[in-house]
Structure 1
Amino acid sequence: MIEILDNLDVLARPVLDLSELKMGGVALGAPATSIAPQCIVEVQSSIVARVRDVYDADQDDIGREYYDADGQRLTLDEVIDHTARSDGFLYRLDEISYKLRGGTVVGFAIYGRRLAHFRHLTSYEKFLTAFGSPDQTRKDTEGGEFMGYTAYYWGARKQVQWDDWDRRIILINLGDFEGNTGP
């Protein structure tokens, strides 16, 4: 099995067998409970109705508080446990995340500093040379302004977001994300 974090170049392949990959020691199809909860710093879950960012006196972000629909505060451990048995996203501090469905890992995402490995790709043309021609491309806009592209590679069940403003890849996800398997 190939550990993505030890071999980021595998992400440039236009065709991947996702059953041969793991990220952060976790394979697609693995039970979500196999993800070490102490690595999780943020959660997106159906049990959470409200999230509040918490800051210290110097206005440094020190964490988040989670609340259920009744306004009861939930600990991060409670939210992780619920999410690991259902659907949602678990985010690690080292800028990778896991998509969960029915308590199973169905997708990976990698972003932020982790993508510095591809910093030599300073143009969309260089990106296309390295990653190959996508099966589908979507122009990304915000407020009517062109921001970049999302490239879909159906043979890899992958999408890559190219930020044209910063001239870099900002997100790669693999697995069960909308658009990753074709129209």
Structure 2
Amino acid sequence: MIEILDNLDILSRPHLDLTTVEMGGIALGTPATSVPRRSIIQAQSSVVARYGGGTNIDSEYYDAEGRRLTLDEVIGHAAQSDGFLYCADKLTYKVRAGTVVGFAIYGPHLSHFAHLTSYEELLAAFGTPERAHEDKAYGDLMGYDNYYWGAHKHVKWDAWDHRVSLINMGSFEGNTGP
């Protein structure tokens, strides 16, 4: 297995066999309970009916009856069913039926691509995507969402900060084509 975090250049490949890679020691198809619990700082699961939280605000989770849930309860449910496990090191694992089906990388890991300072440089480094979508808000270009179906990958370019802001791989919407 190739550890993505030790070989970030692999992320620029337009074709990538996801059965050959792992992120943080976790491979796609691995039980989500394998994600180290001590690294998980937030979770998303269908057991959560209402969520409150934000920057410098502790997360609060509530079920459909209004009962407050602990983070451990939400993590346990997400790891056994469907959801997301968000780690302190800016890594996220997507879970379906208790199995890791996707990875997302953001934050400091992507400083590896800081030398890319324009969208054109991103295209030169990552190749032409099978699908590109302009992200606009109120007429302003916010960025581009590039989908590389051969790698089951989404690369988000932030047009305001001129940087790669997200890379996800695996079973995320848009990653495998129309």
TM-score exceeds 0.5: yes
1:16 deviates by 0.2
Deviations 1:117-154 (A, max 9, x none): 10000001111111111111111112232111111101
Deviations 1:38-79 (A, max 9, x none): 11001111111112228xxxxx82521211111111111111
The CA RMSD measured in Å over matched residues stands at: 1.2
**Does 2:46 match 1:46?**
yes
Q: Secondary structure at the match of 1:178?
A: coil
User: Which residues of structure 1 form unaligned runs of 5+?
Assistant: 55-59
Which of 162, 167, 171 aligns to 2:157? It is 162
Runs of at least 4 residues off by over 3 Å: none
Aligned residue pairs total 178
1:155 deviates by 0.5
Q: What is the letter of the counterpart of residue 30 of structure 2?
A: A
TM-score after normalising by structure 1: 0.94
Deviations 1:153-180 (A, max 9, x none): 0100001000111100110000011111
Q: Secondary structure at the match of 1:140?
A: strand
How far, CA to CA, are the matches of 1:143 and 1:14 in structure 2?
31
Q: Secondary structure at the match of 1:48?
A: coil
Partner of 2:169: 174
User: Which residues of structure 2 form unaligned runs of 5+?
Assistant: none
Partner of 1:57: none
How far, CA to CA, are the matches of 2:147 and 2:116 in structure 1?
18
Q: What is the letter of the counterpart of residue 80 of structure 2?
A: R
| Aligned ranges 1:145-156 → 2 under 5 Å | 145-156=140-151
Which of 99, 119, 123 aligns to 2:114? It is 119
Partner of 2:76: 81
Q: Percent of pairs identical after alignment? A: 62
Q: Secondary structure at the match of 2:15?
A: coil
Deviations 1:99-128 (A, max 9, x none): 011101000000111111100000011111
How far, CA to CA, are the matches of 1:173 and 1:22 in structure 2?
13
Partner of 1:134: 129
| Aligned ranges 1:22-101 → 2 under 5 Å | 22-53=22-53, 61=56, 63-101=58-96
Q: What is the letter of the counterpart of residue 28 of structure 1?
A: L
Q: What is the letter of the counterpart of residue 73 of structure 1?
A: R
Q: What is the letter of the counterpart of residue 144 of structure 1?
A: G
Partner of 1:3: 3
Partner of 2:138: 143
